[in-house]
Chain A
Amino acid sequence: MISKKNSFTALSLASLLALAGCAGESPDDSGSETDSGSGDGTQISFIHWRGEDKAVFDDIIAQFEDEFPDIDVEMNIYPSEQYQATGQRMLTDGSTGDVFTSFPGAQFEAIASAGFFEDLSGEDFVGNFDENLITVGEKDGQQLALPYQLVFNMPVYNKGMFDELGLEVPKSWTEFQEMADTLLENDIVPIAFPGADIGPNQFMNSMMMNNAPDEDIFTKLQSGEESLTNEWWVKTLEDFQLLEQKGYIQPDALGTSQDSAMAMVANEEAAMLATGSYHMASLLGLNPDLELDLMAPITVEESEAQYEGINTATFMLAVNSKSEKKEQAKEFIRFLSRPEIASQYANETGQHLTVNGVEYESEVLQNTAYWIDERTTRFQPRFLITNAQIEAAVLSSIENVLGGAEPMEAAEEAQQIVDENRE
């Protein structure tokens, strides 16, 4: 009863905010729904945020329903911001999201704390996934969620342009600056940085990966063992300052949107896009002649570098512990983890996956697949910040520096917010 009461109160607070003009549209208003079922079987609800994957999921769901005529899948898609904000609340009574997806980091932690993840540890289909890529879905020895997508959150660069200018991928911070200087001499902006939206939260990962190779650094920050005023973060902020002061990122970067930054790279005004592999297909859509690859800035000397890039296993598939249709929900995840279905999803959406045995057909996916096995990447550090207020403080310090503040001053300001929000 308490649960229902609390759920109602949560909705009530949302109503209050809505009345006060503080909330967005309700999920039902803006979510996209697909129910391709015949209506005579058990209906399971599948909720996620990937609107761009609707067509391929519709096709996969149709195949699933052909094979399992007793199960209908109702898919609801919500914008990612909205999903992050309201996804958890939809799970509370078990009627929605029999199969749901979660972001790693703060959302995963919140859902785990609320007990909405069904433990999938003993399920046979867990073996269909690369065990090294699904650890982010583990908590307290239980496999609570299975990341499906694998993205590389590091700059996409114009390989063709580099070849033309005789540039090689830099292996140290000194080489990186030399490379950037050469690009500037050729009137090319080295890095298109979408500072108005996702730039800081994406680029911070590769900028700090070798400055703070300890993967527990943000856990320690949250527990008070580490501070943003220590060298690893101040050096990262100094590196950002250098990018801005030397013109390695475009002027007015904090006002530049993702679309504008992509246009700069597509038009070959800029050599790198500081986002991630998930934008490669869109860039090729804007300019099919581009030859693209991935490259993270190595911010230390070559001998000190431990990582070459950043990976994120995300779009974590899970079963709602409150669901009354857990077996059907698991059957759907088992179906999604089949190599042939995963291959269809990967190739039609242009993404790498965590599923074993996926065959990548597109040139871009094939050309960048070496990042999965042959390169040393680390899991996106930002997602290891489980407190959203602390994450916001970390990102704000980057914006502060790009806005003209001194690195130490920005670090101190952010650390104060970290201290206020530490649990």
Chain B
Amino acid sequence: MKISKMIYLFFIPGLLLYSIFFIYPTISALFYSFTDWDGLSDAYQFVGTGNYERALTGDTIFRKTVGNNLKFMLVVVILQTIVALAFALIVLKNTKTNLFLRALYFFPTILSSVSVAFIWSFIYDPSLGILNQILELLGLDVLRQNWLGNADIAIYSLAITQVWFHAGQMLIIFVAGLQAIPEDLYEVAKIEGASKWQTFRKVTWPLLAPSATIVIAYTTIQSFKAFDLVFAMTGGGPNNSTQIIATYIFDVAFRSYNFGYASSISVLFMIIIAAITFLQFKALRSDRISY
């Protein structure tokens, strides 16, 4: 069948929007990453690879933000994937109760991040927060923490909030993936005498790999971009212990008025996310199987 050339006209609106809101800003960021532009003045000078050298060799905070982001990502990816999968297995069948539970678990996803930050800042408050109060009621005073004020644990407290915020979204992806697995395979496994764990390991997980790939990749990207939650809950503190790359870019660009340097960090940020996502796809692809 011959496709009319007119069909290419339909690409134009989307291409235009994509160019304005993605390609142009990306190219601009790349361009300004080689300058010392302050974001306000007309003038700027080219500094070669100076901004990149500074980020990679002479910026203690940037190195710290990368470390914080990796910690945050690891906790969120592992915990969110496990929690979402576990709950997906629990609410898999389409009963009325399960439909209600799925909606309930999905609910945090529709909240604005500022609302989530507000709720969890209250939960974590060391004196008024309900988390410490519950621990006290249970006689677990020893577990009381300064959840957001202790530099050693603040990033993990934020990670827990992120998991609560987004696990419901991932649960839906897992439910869809699980429901697409043919029932016959479970019947065969049962006839063959496979245990529940063997069934999960040999049937469920391999066939769920495409969904898991999406979940893990999306969670990774999401955890790198958790700007609003971090900004609203800790502002990167205390002592930069929760400063992640996104909040640092904001600080450098909009508080220090160093757009050139912020652009170079943005470019590095894109490279880091792309590299991690690529590695994850490679790793998870090997787990895929079809029967």
Residues A13 and B25 in contact, CB atoms below 8 Å apart:
yes
Closest to B257 in A: A110
Q: Mark B219-242, 1 if CB is under 8 A from A, else 0.
A: 000100111100100110111100
Residues A254 and B149 in contact, CB atoms below 8 Å apart:
yes
Return the contact of B37 from the options A6, A111, A116 (Cβ within 8 A): A6
Within 8 A of A (CB), among B208-228: 222, 225-228
A113 contacts chain B at the CB level, 8 A cutoff: yes
Collect the chain B residues with CB atoms within 8 Å of residue A389's CB: 61, 251-252, 256
Closest to B124 in A: A255
Within 8 A of B (CB), among A82-122: 84-86, 88-89, 92, 106, 110-111, 113-116
Q: Which of B26-34, B86-94, B175-183, B283-291 participates in binding chain A?
A: B26-34
Residues A22 and B249 in contact, CB atoms below 8 Å apart:
yes
Residues B40 and A255 in contact, CB atoms below 8 Å apart:
no
Collect the chain B residues with CB atoms within 8 Å of residue A23's CB: 227, 250
Least Cβ distance of A386 to chain B in Å? Answer: 10
Collect the chain B residues with CB atoms within 8 Å of residue A115's CB: 41
Q: Mark B1-30, 1 if CB is under 8 A from A, else 0.
A: 000000000000000000001101110110
Interface-centre pick from A86, A88, A416 (highest chain B CB count, 10 A): A88
> In the complex, how many residues of chain A place their beta carbon closer than 8 angstroms to a beta carbon of chain B?
56
Closest to B240 in A: A396
B72 contacts chain A at the CB level, 8 A cutoff: no
Collect the chain B residues with CB atoms within 8 Å of residue A84's CB: 254-255
> In the complex, how many residues of chain B place their beta carbon closer than 8 angstroms to a beta carbon of chain A?
59
Residues B246 and A254 in contact, CB atoms below 8 Å apart:
no
Interface-centre pick from B32, B44, B226, B257 (highest chain A CB count, 10 A): B257
Q: Which of B98-106, B125-133, B166-174 participates in binding chain A?
A: B125-133
A340 contacts chain B at the CB level, 8 A cutoff: no
Bound together, the chains give a CA A15 to CA B58 distance in angstroms of 28
Bound together, the chains give a CA A85 to CA B262 distance in angstroms of 14
Least Cβ distance of A344 to chain B in Å? Answer: 33
Least Cβ distance of A90 to chain B in Å? Answer: 11
Least Cβ distance of A380 to chain B in Å? Answer: 17
With A13-B25, A21-B228, A252-B146 as known contacts, state yes or no: A113 contacts B41, CB within 8 Å: yes
A286 contacts chain B at the CB level, 8 A cutoff: no
Closest to B245 in A: A22
Residues A260 and B249 in contact, CB atoms below 8 Å apart:
no
B39 contacts chain A at the CB level, 8 A cutoff: yes
Bound together, the chains give a CA A83 to CA B66 distance in angstroms of 28
With A16-B29, A399-B239 as known contacts, state yes or no: A388 contacts B256, CB within 8 Å: yes
Closest to A114 in B: B40
Least Cβ distance of B195 to chain A in Å? Answer: 42
Bound together, the chains give a CA A111 to CA B146 distance in angstroms of 39
With A17-B249, A17-B250 as known contacts, state yes or no: A12 contacts B24, CB within 8 Å: yes
Residues A16 and B255 in contact, CB atoms below 8 Å apart:
no
Within 8 A of B (CB), among A10-42: 10, 12-13, 15-17, 19-24
A127 contacts chain B at the CB level, 8 A cutoff: no
B59 contacts chain A at the CB level, 8 A cutoff: yes
Bound together, the chains give a CA A410 to CA B27 distance in angstroms of 39
Residues A255 and B146 in contact, CB atoms below 8 Å apart:
yes
Collect the chain A residues with CB atoms within 8 Å of residue B266's CB: 13, 16-17, 20
B70 contacts chain A at the CB level, 8 A cutoff: no
Provide a sorted-by-A list of 25 A–B residue pairs whose CB atoms are within 8 angstroms.
Answer: A13-B259, A17-B253, A19-B25, A20-B225, A20-B266, A21-B222, A21-B228, A24-B231, A85-B250, A92-B40, A111-B40, A114-B38, A195-B149, A196-B238, A251-B146, A254-B151, A255-B125, A255-B150, A260-B125, A388-B255, A392-B255, A396-B237, A396-B239, A399-B239, A417-B61
Given contacts A15-B25, A399-B239, 4 further A-B contacts (CB under 8 A): A84-B255, A255-B146, A400-B238, A420-B58
